[in-house]
Amino acid sequence: MIFDTRRPELMELAMRGRLSELPEGASYIQISFEGPRGLRDGVTWSGHLDAATKLDVIRTRKLSEISVRRGGEPGQLTVEEVAELDAVSVRTAETALQAINADWSSMKAFITYLCERWDEHRRRGAEAMANEYRRHLQRAVWLASSGLGIGVSWIIGDVGRVTGHLENTLDVIFPDLAHKRRDTLILSLRHSVVEKAPPAEPDLTLDEDAIVDLVDWLERTDQWKVHLAVEAILEHQFKGGVMDHAALAKEVESLGVTFEHLIDALLLEAGFPNTGTLTPKTRDLWSQVPDVFETFKTHYGLVSTKSATRADRLVQIDALTLTGPNAEVGRLLLRAVLYRNAGVHGGMGHWAEAELHEASRLFLTAMMFCRHAFISSPPVP
């Protein structure tokens, strides 16, 4: 497609495909076919774009009004405030769609157009333009959902795959971060924990069901710190830089603290008071598993680094003669508590990367075993 950008009338002829009417001898510029199509269709959808923008402006004003009303104090919206915002959004969207006589058919076509433009600019490496179309897409989905009373999930499914991706296009543009983090955590638990877990009696053996149970429980109780820590660890591992190593150490330290928080939540669910340090709390959680309970009752001193180094303590733990079907589970839990104590009290910034990965594996494995023990042998206060 060709046209002279200095002469609008020629540009209009080119966009309409009327090449035979272009005068001879004019100065033309070679451009992509998709460019003029995007410009032409963009004008066609100007009413829908205005309606979506108006909804965004009204929502922003309502949020500002709510903020002023509460004195500018930050915080999550109350149920009443959410209902107020939704009511304004619905009224605004319905009015805006009626003004341009838009139904779902035209909104679907509009959203499809925006998806195609997003994909076109993304493939060309024009990230700024792709992000702009992504912003307008979010507004368009809000407009359709609020004004037509249809769910976002339904919109995503009905628009479908319009850009050649293997998933629904809107899922590609707006990935479900919670779902992505869940998948990442499950893969990490499967390959770093279950495949390398020590042997245990059948009721405590870690498997795929134990993975799903732990992840479901974490999400059901809004404990997303494990998901976030694993995501950050994967982001910073094997980079080699000073800052990435510091970030990795910080996340593994955080995972150790989260290990204790998980035990707190399990004990609270079982009716225990939230008191004491990690060692007796771990012992209490495993009170109905005799060999593990006995390990903590007898060798609790090996998790302290006050009078011995972490390396010395690891040698001592490895040298223990433990009996019972869950002996190695008890040994692993001792190591996990030792690593947590060493990290909290001395930091992990000076640890080698291999040590950090071993610590994160221990923490995740200990979490899985603790949740599994809670299900198969629940502690009694």
- Is residue 42 scored above 70 in pLDDT? no
Residue 256's pLDDT is: 94
Least confident span in 217-231, 325-339, 366-380: 217-231
- Is residue 4 scored above 50 in pLDDT? no
> Given phi > 0 = left and psi -120 to 50 = alpha, else beta, which region is 320?
beta
Higher pLDDT, 57 or 39: 57
177 falls in which pLDDT band (50, 70, 90)? low
Residue 12's pLDDT is: 52
* Mean pLDDT (whole number) for 119-139: 88
DSSP track, 88-150 = HHHHHHHHHHHHTT--HHHHHHHHHHHHHHHHHHHHTT-HHHHHHHHHHHHHHHHHHHHHHT-
Higher pLDDT, 234 or 7: 234
How far is the C-alpha of 32 from the C-alpha of 154, rounded, in Å?
A: 34
- Is residue 286 scored above 50 in pLDDT? yes
The 10s digit of each residue's pLDDT in 338-362 is 999 999 989 999 999 999 999 999 9
> Cβ distance 192 to 211 under 8 Å?
no
Residue 308's pLDDT is: 93
* Mean pLDDT (whole number) for 75-104: 87
- Is residue 72 scored above 60 in pLDDT? yes
Residue 62's pLDDT is: 86
2 falls in which pLDDT band (50, 70, 90)? very low
Angle at 56 between CA 82 and CA 144, to 5 degrees: 85
Higher pLDDT, 14 or 170: 170
The pTM of the full predicted model, rounded to 2 decimals, is 0.64
Residue 43's pLDDT is: 67
Residue 236's pLDDT is: 86
- Is residue 141 scored above 80 in pLDDT? yes
Least confident span in 8-12, 118-122, 154-158, 184-188: 8-12
Residue 25's pLDDT is: 52
18 falls in which pLDDT band (50, 70, 90)? low
- Is residue 75 scored above 70 in pLDDT? no
Residue tagged 């992840």 (tokens): 215
Residue 24's pLDDT is: 58
Q: Residue 358 CB: number of other CB atoms within 10 A?
A: 16
How far is the C-alpha of 146 from the C-alpha of 215, rounded, in Å?
A: 32
